Amino acid sequence: MDIRTITQDNYSEVTGIYRQGIATGIATFQEDIPDWESWDKSHLPHCRIAAFEGEEMTGWAALTPVSGRCVYAGVAEVSVYVAEKFRGRGVGELLLNSLIAQSEAAGLWTLQSGIFSTNTGSIRLHEKCGFRQVGYREKIGRKNGVWKDNIIMERRSKIIGV
């Protein structure tokens, strides 16, 4: 598997995988797929990666800034999605570890994730990649009329800002 940059040219594959994640009901509060321009504006211009097996995208990961305030310039929120047929094959770990390396190369010192408490697979993945639970947000939002709790996970770089 190789890692490539997400671009407008492969964004349709990103949206297909994103749609599969939305369908699980435990990956995101998001219900709609943004168009390229909206997605592009909301994500950092770097640290947008996709894993490929041959020419098939197997998953993707990207970062969004947590704040526009300069003191948080080194903090970003993680999104990671794996295509249904590739789940359980190490794609998520490859993507998250690659994203961590790219984020540190870009000078980011903290990555965070808000994960539904019922998404145990994502929680385990983040733990495996060095994230730790730093918070629990009870009934933070509703999905299909049901209140959802979020686990807040964070990974502090051991090489940036130490």
Predicted local confidence at residue 124, as pLDDT: 96
Tens digits of residue pLDDT in 87-107: 999 999 999 999 999 999 999
> What pTM was estimated for this model as a whole?
0.94
- In a domain, residue 69? The reply is yes
DSSP state of 73: T
Count up the domains in the chain and report the number. Answer: 1
The enclosing domain of 24 has a CATH number of 3.40.630.30
Residue-range definition of the domain harbouring residue 26: 2-156
Domain membership flag for residue 32: yes
pLDDT of residue 26: 85
What's residue 70's pLDDT? Answer: 86
Strand order in the sheet with 110-116: 2-5, 48-53, 56-65, 75-82, 110-116, 146-156, 132-143
pLDDT band of 133, cuts 50, 70, 90: very high
**For the chain, what is the mean pLDDT?**
95
Residues facing residue 48 across a β-bridge: 62
Residue 115 above 90 pLDDT? yes
